[in-house]
Structure 1
């Protein structure tokens, strides 16, 4: 495992003291509730806007079913597996995750032997490189979060792919595509029948995009490419868009997140060129973005996004 990943205290605090969102008083990160059908054969267990709970996808075809994301730890993974089995019966199961972060994939051990687990190669490598440190970091967030890591094991996938993979579920097709680096080094989208798009934390509903920029410990987020990815996803014009967190939406969600990131990019570049320091640029962007997107949650991430773009190579 990489030894240069953030410790809990280091990961939650930037060098200048800007802190990531405090979830110490949040509800326990438990996946719960009934799957909701958002399209034919496409179900989502909604996150109910609970911190560190993802929207979980279950796609059921005639011969097989695909699960997208698991929640944190074996308890959540077991619950998701039970829901998938209830919907899929004896059909073959597949599991994939949108990216390696703990709330999206660290329940995978419940699926070992019960499903074929498939990640892109970058996800597998990022899990191996950063997984143990992220467990330590997340355990430090709160006692309720730490409890979900009890007995957690990091599970390698059964299959990996490069670029793109297609899973025929029987009358329903899932296309897995590597699109990172963006939110992480190895983000993946899942497109069902050219209609329903699962994008993980590339976009979230009424939440400022999470930019895990903690140099020198973790700086794999790529804001410029993230914008490019959102342009590409918008061009697909999916009918239904399932974010990593927040309510299911449509393609307008992707445009909204793209516009925000482009604003931060442009403002960070302008302020840097005008001689503003990183702190000054982050403070200015933070103030303006809070006013402009005043219905969005977790504004603590604005300054991280500002620094991501401020520190980027202007020529890149």
Structure 2
């Protein structure tokens, strides 16, 4: 099953009962630009993502579904009201449960459009992640009741441009990074980018490094992906979780991963063992960001860089 961490204890922390149910809050829906809506992670509840709805004259695009079919039905209802008869489309930033495990609610009601890696990763890992997330407590398990996996109607490779009618939206494949099929959704005219869990606000980057079952996360490529996003020169960044903001959020994530990779590589080259690096760097990194959530992911990030080595070059946050 996906989720074996080789005894690191990460999953033991994650599998403790979640106090708050990861329910999408439609009361917070807001229009951040003309025809660009978000259903935000208003209350910073774990496993509640920021969800996007983007309008065009002919079609309306939904970005991410929320955790499970009931959340997705609420998102679908909100999008249907906004669309008011226009065609609906659905895409996701990546396949993880709180972002994509509600897509069945959209089947037959929207055109579902993924990149090929997302589709293939969902097919390969979906059941394992479903079982793993059901172990995260009763509140999460309830949201995942009745989950069914459906294939997208359309897939693309590399990038795709969707013409919604007077508004172009670019889907850009970015994986492997946080996942194999990471995708950003870019609105070039408005300079708004939806980045999924490639960037989160005041959350330690989630590095799902679970060898031998899932070791596809790639810290070096993740750093390079963040630099690609920075090169787009976005004005508004819609993160996977937490408050939206500007390009500084991408810079913070890039700097964090770059510094971690460099520190791990330096100690590894000095002959320090993996476990000793975790013990040495972990507390230091956590203490540097006392207001960030999910400190359990620091360890998996260190172990990921130890496994792959660091080869992403120096930080490029000034570009």
Distance 2:275 2:7 in 1: 11
Q: Contact conserved, 1:23 with 1:51, CA < 8 A, in 2? A: no
Is residue 37 from structure 1 mapped to residue 31 from structure 2 by the alignment?
A: yes
Q: Contact conserved, 1:21 with 1:301, CA < 8 A, in 2? A: no
Q: Contact conserved, 1:172 with 1:193, CA < 8 A, in 2? A: no
1:314–1:255: structure 2 CA closer, same or farther, 3 Å change rule?
A: closer
Q: Deviations over 1:29-58 (max 9, x none)?
A: 111123211111110001121111110000
- Name which of 72, 84, 89 aligns with 2:67: 72
TM-score under structure 2 length normalisation? 0.93
Q: Contact conserved, 2:5 with 2:209, CA < 8 A, in 1? A: no
Q: Deviations over 1:119-149 (max 9, x none)?
A: 0000000000000111100101111111111
- Measured after TM superposition, the shift of residue 285 of structure 1 is 1.7
What pairs up with 1:224-263 in 2 under 5 angstroms?
Answer: 224-263=220-259
Q: Deviations over 1:101-122 (max 9, x none)?
A: 0110010111011100000000
- Name which of 11, 14, 26 aligns with 2:19: 26
- Name which of 153, 157, 161 aligns with 1:158: 153
- Measured after TM superposition, the shift of residue 291 of structure 1 is 2.0
- Measured after TM superposition, the shift of residue 16 of structure 1 is 3.5
Unaligned runs of 5+ in 1: none
- Name which of 172, 176, 179 aligns with 1:181: 176
Aligned equivalent of 1:149? 144
Distance 2:140 2:305 in 1: 30
Distance 2:128 2:10 in 1: 20
- Measured after TM superposition, the shift of residue 63 of structure 1 is 1.0
CA RMSD between the two structures: 1.4
SS at match of 1:289: helix
Is residue 108 from structure 1 mapped to residue 103 from structure 2 by the alignment?
A: yes
Q: Contact conserved, 1:47 with 1:54, CA < 8 A, in 2? A: yes
Between 1:306-315 and 1:206-215, the stretch displaced more is 306-315
- Measured after TM superposition, the shift of residue 188 of structure 1 is 0.4
SS at match of 2:131: helix
Q: Contact conserved, 1:26 with 1:51, CA < 8 A, in 2? A: no
Aligned equivalent of 1:132? 127
Is residue 17 from structure 1 mapped to residue 13 from structure 2 by the alignment?
A: no
Aligned equivalent of 1:284? 280
Q: Contact conserved, 2:162 with 2:168, CA < 8 A, in 1? A: yes
SS at match of 1:294: coil
TM-score under structure 1 length normalisation? 0.94
